[in-house]
Amino acid sequence: MGVNAPEQDECHHQESGDHLADLIDGQTVDLEMISTDQFDRTLAYVWLDDLLVNQDLVSGGFAIATTPPEEGDPNGELLLVAEEAAFLAGLGLWSKTVCGSAGPLPEVTVDVRGSEFDPSGPDEDLLDEEWVSLTSGETVDAGSWTIRDESSQHRCRLAPGTAITEDAGLTVTSADGCWDPGGSPVWNNGGDMILVLDDSGTVVERHRYGP
């Protein structure tokens, strides 16, 4: 509950799985059942004695936190705080070198005022009115970069030759053909996170917003 570890095709997946196995393999844990997800999997907080395993994963940069629901989540805010601390410390998946990115990363920012995460009206009918805008103080080659949400359910793989220009930036709508899967809203109205990854999987930019 409240966490999302790297997928099998993502950087730091093996390290995340190994850390969890080292922590709880062969141990007795307590499960604090919260709910189920869209795949009918049980979502729970995992306790190893007094250690909240979910928080341990986020604190070490082995998983990201997910936006807590409005009700029924006793530790959601705690996980968000743990993620912020891990991000600022550059731990785990937040490290600028963990994925083998070559050279310094460019400065790329999510332009919050220039983005629209909750268009007025039914989101599924307004995909071209839901977008994220990226800016930079220099022109950046973003070909083969990925833009994704906190759930990993929506990923946009930018085409080779795509650039974030110094003057115009880069705007990607939820109607663009880069999304897998496409044809549906990307950004949750109740809060979400935008992750921008370079072609090695290194996190170039992270922006979390609330309702």
pLDDT at 198 over 80: yes
Structure confidence at residue 39 as a pLDDT band (50, 70, 90): confident
Structure confidence at residue 19 as a pLDDT band (50, 70, 90): very high
Residue for token pair 């937040």: 94
Residue 108: its pLDDT value, please?
A: 97
Q: Give per-residue pLDDT as tens, 159-195.
A: 999 999 999 999 999 999 999 989 999 999 999 999 9
pLDDT at 25 over 90: yes
Pairing type for strands 64-65 and 3-4 reads: antiparallel
Give domain 3-94's CATH number out of 2.40.50.90, 2.60.120.260, 3.20.20.10, 3.30.70.360: 2.40.50.90
| pTM of the full structure | 0.93
Which CATH fold would you assign to the domain 108-209? Answer: Immunoglobulin-like (2.60.40)
Pairing type for strands 155-157 and 146-148 reads: antiparallel
pLDDT at 9 over 90: no
- Is the N-terminal amide bond of 181 cis, ω within 30° of 0? yes
Q: CA 82, CA 61: separation in Å to the nearest integer?
A: 9
The closest alpha carbon to 152, from 193, 94, 183, 118, belongs to 193
Query: How is the chain split into domains, by residue range?
Result: 3-94, 108-209
- What strands lie across the sheet with 30-36, from one edge to the other? 30-36, 42-48, 51-52
